[in-house]
Structure 1
């Protein structure tokens, strides 16, 4: 069915992409606006994929004329929460020499890290210059002879970062951070039950930090036969007669206060059993599969894994599966295995075949089977935001072949910052300085069909996708991918790379999310820039962003895009940082070599000369988490400690638990042991087994895990 999908929710100032599902490039599609607020003057485009930018709050109803019929979709626009803010840097902030530099590209989450859309021009003291953003609107940017560079841009409440890339390069560059005051995003959870002859849906709304108590809006799904006149809504409760339920109904809700929440969804299935009986089941389609809540993920940078005397191939990784099994991990994430001219593999030239240097498709399947035999699931690195510019499709695109004209993003030549003399009078779109990996154009039905074919090609072979540059692909496409995959296998996992993170990707799109906030905070703790208890602020950021409590976050200290933790941070702080990822709520991830002492981010795995003690430390972290349900449960509570020796700023303690088990975790990020006493009664046995009790308290080198004494 070509229906474009569920209701969409956004605020004025944003636009939403609307597209037919199961795209057919040879078919005819037409959109029209059926209804919009009286004050609205927006129009809708005439392509198969359109972008609607609401100009006033309210409900917009759109209609898609498709080969399989006419479909309607609801778009709900809320008031714009953004306020003008100023990014600013001075010459003293710049990492490099500004001699001869007369402009800077400014990038951040506000413009999808796209070079050339916002520029701060150096025009002389007191002078100002207009800079065009990518939508054609003007923003105010200025620089002066004294070395100050500024950019004014509208931002929602929260803390935001921008990079000033001088001369359109990252050398030199400077970073600016601004905080816009205001409420975070509220949250909502839907639950359903049957009461006699009715289905009852209850919304639990949670106020945002610094926000007021939210109200709740219910929205039915335009794809379903359940209509508004068949239900009754009373504040946070929706009721529907069981007899009025079609086979499938989807109920959506948002919490609304100063800002709106991401939507939560319930799926209601009704089945007629005999003449008088109807059975009803309710589920929450946005929740992650149960297996991942207890899982530990291990990322392999594939071409560095076999060692320094053997080229890595699928067969060589397969020979090392016993090592992975010995760690106790549950899932392996393999960096890209498709054909690519690069060592890292993210510049893909064939999305449907494996890289020749790694092995054949059959050998890849053999590796997957061997991992499955060891009880280890496999996450495939899905790269569908871009291709290599050496991909034949991009070459045909730039060479003017008509069938490929719309396959990649095109930007005005004036916006291009690459210095490449591109063919034609425009340039390809890309992020950062990634000129070798042009962005695909999801306004093209041919591209959408192509990328869905890629999804269908690899999904049957593996257990999940880690989705590269997930923030660069449209929300509507990810929603289609999720429904497509979950209809086949509810246990299939979707992990997003959204940097910085964005709760919108939790809305019926991804199961697990990069936690960039905790990652950055653990780095700052390790360098001594913030105290150890700052990790609680990082955890609280999830709530401010609007993630629901049931959302799962990937906790990590390293990955293939970052320097090794031990290279950046104080000696001895890697162990407590890794321990934090295993003892806080979420999904811990070990980056290959983290446990062996590999010194560089993509360095060769240290097999014969690795850090055996560090490896055993990570094995014990995995075992600890597996053996104690308290460490896999949601929720964390700060615990105060008296610190007798050591630096209190390097020590943090928290309680984790279930109804049957309560544990106190104490972490010491200092280079010297700390002797501490928690402010509650605990047993004098360290469940991790490294710490010992003294007259003053427990001596903690890196981590201690203590059972509360009041448990039965």
Structure 2
């Protein structure tokens, strides 16, 4: 199963529906709008109880305050509600409707054929999480700076490449008690949803954790962190989908340790910053590996696609991620062309105009991609001519009965897509572009012998069905 997931920034999304609206009383027509044809699941990001201690840090941090004012020039104190990744306890925040409100939301999604995804943060917790006082052995201790709890100094959370995060306490992935507690906590979350997205999952890999914390972590266990957790979860919750936020080329390792899908940040970087050749090379990876990736153009951590991708590049890249194997992640506001990246600490979105054309394009793309991504997927090559090598800017792949071609460049590109299908000969073919309705008639013999000639404008695309 390769789901198409829509991420909602829960707190500002609810605020946009009206003052005091919670998950328990979202109007039915709003859930209808969320349940666009082609989606399989909704990720309600940021539902857990946020930390008052973490909120105090956010309100006193000059760097964070600057980012808040950049996103919301009319910022008020009430707009800052704390980080959803500084979790005080894994109970739905009462201000969002509490556990009962989440149950209502899950029921409404189920009525519309959508599954629910929630977050878990395995690496750290809020500094006022009850476990700091009750189970200090679950945490990294002994750093010069940190949180003082009962005569101990608990380290601030971090990854190995950046300074510590000032609002969270670092769990010790080598602690047996912490590992057992992770399983129980994730099992409790799984009772309330259909999938769990694990924040910064690669930080718990033994080698990475040991490199980050050295002697403070103690000796590394023989067993990796994730396999026992994911294995036991699947025994308790068959069908649960596990998603890893993953970087640093750890995707394959985390797939082997039990995750269904891992972030494909490499593809994101290549679609945003590089050319068709680098994307094509990336897509030559083993198909089983690609099926275990999740493709995206934005999420709550990345800049807005409308602000990052110039001209028609956004639409070309969107066609790519929508029609590739693996899972797909879309983000609240991406379809409408929002340009302001909202820090996760904030409770409302700025007012921005809706790009109706972009919204309609994405809605059509969702529906088309759902019909295209069936059967066998194959990456296709392209050919050019001695005096025209623009075919190198073309990306092409096929599904059973469908062909996708993308010009990932800011200039017109021509070439022949290598179909390598002798079965096409013997009849005429009608090719219909499912995105815009254009129809092309082609000789089957020409297609079989020479492939499909395409001539695409800058950032142009074809999503063709062969009839």
- What TM-score do you get using the length of structure 2 for normalisation? 0.74
What's the counterpart of residue 640 of structure 1?
383
Decide whether the 8 Å contact of 2:291 with 2:325 is kept in 1.
no
SS at match of 1:357: helix
Q: Which has the higher contact order (CA 8 A, sep 6+)?
A: 2
* 1:575–1:650 Cα change, 3 Å: farther
C-alpha contact 1:336 1:345 (8 A) present in aligned 2: yes
Task: Tell me by how many angstroms 1:492 deviates.
Answer: 1.1
CA contact (8 A) 2:391 2:414 kept: no
Match of 1:621 among 349, 361, 365: 365
Does 1:387 find its partner at 2:125?
Answer: yes
Using a 3 Å threshold, how does the CA distance of structure 1 residues 668 and 606 change in structure 2: closer, same or farther? farther
Residues in 2 aligned to 1:642 and 1:310: alpha-carbon distance in whole angstroms: 59
Q: After superposition, where does 1:472-491 map in structure 2 within 5 Å?
A: 472-474=203-205, 476-491=224-239
Gap change, CA 1:623 and 1:629, over 3 Å in 2:
same
Matched ranges for 1:689-704 at <5 A: 689=436, 698-700=455-457, 702-704=460-462
TM-score, normalised via structure 1 length = 0.50
Q: Deviations over 1:243-284 (max 9, x none)?
A: xxxxxxxxxxxxxxxxxxxxxxxxxxxxxxxxxxxxxxxxxx
Give the equivalent residue in structure 1 for 2:253.
504
Where do 1:275-674 residues align within 5 Å?
Answer: 292-293=1-2, 295-306=3-14, 308=16, 310-311=18-19, 313-315=22-24, 317=26, 319=28, 320-341=30-51, 342-351=81-90, 353-394=91-132, 396=133, 403-413=134-144, 428-431=155-158, 432=162, 433-474=164-205, 476-502=224-250, 503-524=252-273, 530-540=274-284, 542=285, 548-549=288-289, 551-602=291-342, 609-630=353-374, 633-640=376-383, 648=390, 651-658=393-400, 661=401, 663-670=402-409
- Whole-angstrom CA distance in 2 between matches of 1:707 and 1:389: 55
Q: 2-side partners of 1:314 and 1:594: how far apart?
A: 22
Distance 1:643 1:356, change over 3 A: farther
| Structure with greater proportional strand content | 1
Task: Give yes or no for contact 1:533–1:649 (8 Å, CA) kept in 2.
Answer: no
Moved more, 692-701 or 508-517: 692-701
* Deviation (angstroms), 1:392: 3.4
- Secondary structure of the residue aligned to 2:42 is strand
Deviations 1:451-508 (A, max 9, x none): 2221222212211111112112357342222222222343110111111241211124
Residues 317 and 535 of structure 1, relative CA distance in 2, 3 Å threshold:
farther
| C-alpha distance in 2 between matches for 1:450 and 1:635 | 43
The whole-number CA distance in structure 2 between the counterparts of 1:668 and 1:513 is: 27
For the pair shown, which has the larger CA radius of gyration, 1 or 2? 1
Q: 1:627 to 1:309 in 2, by over 3 A?
A: closer
Whole-angstrom CA distance in 2 between matches of 1:644 and 1:565: 34
Number of residue pairs matched?
A: 391
**Structure 1: how far apart are the matches of 2:118 and 2:92?**
12
- Structure 1 residue 586: Cα displacement: 1.2
Question: Structure 1 stretches of 5 or more lacking a match?
Answer: 1-291, 397-402, 525-529
**Alpha carbons 2:415, 2:455 under 8 Å: kept:** yes
1:629 to 1:579, Cα distance in 2 relative to 1, 3 A: closer
